[in-house]
Amino acid sequence: MKISEEQLQLVDKQIKRIIASGNYYSEVYKKAGISGVSSPEDFEKIPFTDKADLRNAYPLGIQAVPDSEVVRIHSSSGTTGKPVIIPYTAKDVDDWAEMFKRCYEIAGITKKDRIHITPGYGLWTAGIGFQAGCEKLGAMAIPMGPGNTDKQIQMMIDLESTVLCATSSYALLLAEEINKRGIKDKIKLKKGVIGSERWSEAKRKYIAQELGIELYDIYGLTEIYGPGIGVNCPGQTGMHIFDDYLYTEIIDPVTGEVLPDGEPGEIVITTLVKEGAPLIRFRTHDLSRLIPGECSCGRKYPRLDTISGRSDDMFKVHGVNMFPSQVEQLLGMVDGISSEYKIDIAHDESINRDIIMITAEAEGRVDFAKAGEEIKRLFKSRMNVTPKVAVVSLNTLPRSEKKTQRVFDHRED
C-alpha cells in the first residue's frame, strides 16, 4: 500500500519536528541530508531505524518534546543489553487509548462489558494499555495483572467478567485450570483479547473451546505506543491497523527492499502523529504480510496477516525467504508427522546449488517413504523449493527445554 498524500504530509511534519527538537534522530537525518519528504520516493530514501538505535539513545535521547510535555515513560524489557525508554505526551497516551478503544469496538466489545485484564502493569505497556482503552470505551476494567490463578478465577466468577485480556500462554493456563476444576458453567466470558505472540492453531482452538469464547489477536509493541495498534475483526481475515496513526510497510528483511502487498516480510512502522518519541520506518522484526484487497467487514484500515515469526529466524534458499513457522505449517499438513524437525542447508559445489535437507519425525504407523514424498510435494507447490527429505522415527531428534535450534546453515562453513 503506497503512502498516501495525507500520510506523507504527516511524515514531513514529523521529520521537521524531529530536526527542530535536536534529538538523536535530528542528527541522523541531518547527516543523511533529509529535511522533509514530499513524495513516496523521498519517503523510501529515509533510513530504517532499529531497536539498536533506541538503545544508543538511552535513556531519553529520542525524546522530541520538552520535558514539560512528557507525562509518562514506558520501557521495553531488555533481554539483551540496555532497555529502551519511550516518552509519551498527554496526546500520545490519549491517541493510544483511542486506538485500543477501536480494537475493543472492532471485536464487538461494548461499554456493558466487564474486561478482566491479566497482562502486567508497570514499566511495560501491557496492562495499562488494555486499561486505558477499556476506560475510554466506557466498559468496566477489572485490573487484575498477572498471577494468583485462584483469585483470578474467583473474581471472574463473582464479577461475571465477560472479556478476558491475556497472553495466549496465560489464557491457556486459565482454560486448563477452569477445565480441571469443572467450573466452566460459572464462567461468563464471551470474548478473549489476546496479545499477539505467535501461537498455534491447536492452542487457539483449545482456549476458544474450553472457555467458550471468541478470540481476537491484538498487535502492538512498546516502541510504537504498545499493544492495541491493530486487531482482527470478526471476519478473522487479518488484523486491521489504524492508518491514521501509523503507516505500515513490509520489507525484505535481508535486502531492505519494500515488498508489494501480499508478499511476506518484515513489518516496518512509521508513527504519523506521535509527539514524545516519533519513529520513522521502525523495523519491528515481526514477520507478516499486508493482505491485499478490502475486508469483508467493510472497514478500510489495511490488514496485517497473523504474525508468522521473527525475521531473526529467517533463512534463505534459492533466493526464497523461508521461516520456521512455514515449515511447521507444511509439516502439520502431513498425517502422522510430529512437530519436531531439523533443517540443514548446504551448498553443493558440483552443481553450484544450495541443497535443503529436511529431517522430520513420523509415527510408526506411517509409511515413511510416502510421507517423505508428500512433504517434498508440499514444499514444491507451496514454497517453490524441492528439499531432500529424511523421515525418521518419533523421538529421534533431540529435544530441549529451551528454544531448540532447528535450522543449521552449513553454507558459511
Minimum distance from CB of 95 to Zn ion (Å)? 21
| Minimum distance, C-beta of residue 108 to Zn ion, in the bound complex (Å) | 12
CB of 299 to Zn ion, least distance (A): 5
The piece of 207-215, 244-252, 266-274, 298-306 that touches Zn ion (CB under 5 A) is 298-306
CB of 103 to Zn ion, least distance (A): 12
Q: How far is the CB of 297 from Zn ion (least distance, A)?
A: 3
Nearest to Zn ion of 238, 253 (CB atom): 238
Which part of the chain contacts Zn ion (CB under 5 A), choosing from 116-124, 140-148, 265-273, 287-295? Answer: 287-295
Q: How far apart are CA 119 and CA 146, in angstroms?
A: 6
Q: Which of 362, 357, 332 is nearest to 408 (CA)?
A: 357
Read off φ and ψ for residue 182, nearest 5 degrees. Answer: 60, 40
Binding of Zn ion at residue 291 (CB under 5 A)?
no
Identity of the residue, 60 or 295, whose beta carbon is nearer to Zn ion in the bound complex: 295
Q: What share of the chain is helix, strand, coil (3-state, %, to 5)?
A: 30, 30, 40
Q: What are phi and psi of 88, to 5 degrees?
A: -120, 140
Is residue 235 at the binding interface for Zn ion, with CB under 5 A as the rule? yes
Alpha-carbon distance 339 to 399, whole Å? 11
Tell me how many residues contact Zn ion (CB under 5 A): 5
CB of 107 to Zn ion, least distance (A): 11
Q: Which three cell numbers stand for residue 260?
A: 508489494
DSSP string, 282-314: EEEEEEE-EEPS--TT---S-EEPPP-EEGGG-
Q: Give the binding range for Zn ion (CB under 5 A) out of 1-9, 136-144, 293-301, 319-327.
A: 293-301
Given candidates 297, 355, 385, 407, which one binds Zn ion under the rule CB under 5 A? Answer: 297
- Residue span binding Zn ion (CB under 5 A) among the ranges 16-24, 183-191, 295-303, 368-376: 295-303
Shortest Cβ 21–Zn ion spacing (Å): 37
212 binds Zn ion (CB under 5 A): no
Of residues 299 and 376, the one with the C-beta less far from Zn ion: 299
- Least separation in angstroms between CB 235 and Zn ion: 5
Q: Which stretch binds Zn ion (CB under 5 A): 165-173, 225-233, 306-314, 341-349?
A: 225-233
Cα 240 to Cα 96: distance, rounded to the nearest angstrom: 15
Asked if omega into 59 is within 30° of 0 (cis), the reply is yes
Cα(385)–Cα(389) distance, integer angstroms: 12
- Cβ proximity to Zn ion, 182 vs 298, nearer residue: 298
| Shortest reach from residue 110's CB to Zn ion, in Å | 18
The answer to whether the beta carbons of residues 223 and 230 sit under 8 Å apart is no
Instruction: Identify which of residues 297 and 397 has a Cβ nearer to Zn ion in the complex.
Output: 297
Half-sphere exposure of 268 (CA within 13 A, CB side): 23
In the bound state with Zn ion, the residue whose beta carbon lies nearer, of 152 and 196, is 196
- As a whole number of angstroms, the distance between CA 217 and CA 182 comes to 27
For 398, what's the count of Cα atoms within 13 Å in the CB-facing half-sphere? Answer: 9
Q: How far apart are CA 126 and CA 117, in angstroms?
A: 9
Nearer to Zn ion, 233 or 327 (CB): 233
Considering only 71, 123, 295, 346, the residue that binds Zn ion (CB under 5 A) is 295
Backbone angles phi, psi at 107, to 5 degrees: -80, 0
| One of 178, 194, 233, 269 touching Zn ion (CB under 5 A) | 233
C-alpha 287/C-alpha 321 separation (Å) is: 11
241/314 with CB nearer Zn ion: 241
Stretch that binds Zn ion, among 30-38, 171-179, 219-227, 288-296 (CB under 5 A): 288-296
H-only helix segments in 83-184: 90-106, 126-137, 149-158, 168-181
Among 27-35, 138-146, 231-239, 270-278, the segment contacting Zn ion (CB under 5 A): 231-239
Other CB atoms closer than 10 Å to residue 410's CB: what's the count? 11
Q: How far is the CB of 75 from Zn ion (least distance, A)?
A: 32
The footprint of Zn ion (CB under 5 A) covers 233, 235, 295, 297, 299
